[in-house]
Amino acid sequence: MTPDELQEIIQKIEASTSPENANFGIFRYGEHHVEGCIKANGEGLKLFAAELLAAAYSFEHNEHKEYHQLEYLSDWVSEGSDIIIDLR
């Protein structure tokens, strides 16, 4: 897949998905917080997928190729979502 194709997919997802209706979160539970779950609706999953694709694009275009941190300050990420994804 070319970088342009990747950008086109990201743009299509973002253009067709409403952040106001999206919900996504990753939560820990259990006695020792070793278990987790994702709680999301379809819109939230699409926006999360766009974030992952943006990370892949970033790796292709970042001269230093260090890491891409997902945008967890987005309105569509659930409050209390307690797992941060740091892609290296």
The pLDDT of residue 38 is: 86
Q: How confident is the model at residue 82 (pLDDT cuts 50, 70, 90)?
A: low
Q: How many domains does the chain have?
A: 1
Q: What is the mean pLDDT of residues 70-79?
A: 63
- Is 21 a domain residue? yes
- Is 76 a domain residue? yes
The pLDDT of residue 35 is: 77
Q: By percentage, how much of the chain surpasses pLDDT 90?
A: 30
- For residue 6, give every residue at least 6 positions away whose Cβ sits within 8 Å of its Cβ, in sequence order, or none: 53, 56, 57, 60
- Is 75 a domain residue? yes
pLDDT in tens, 32-68: 767 778 889 999 999 989 988 887 887 777 654 555 5
Q: By percentage, how much of the chain surpasses pLDDT 70?
A: 72
Name the residue range of residue 58's domain.
3-83
CA dihedral (61, 65, 25, 35) positive or negative: positive
Contact 13, 50 (CB under 8 A): yes
- Is 88 a domain residue? no
Between CA 55 and CA 64 the distance in angstroms is 14
- Is 78 a domain residue? yes
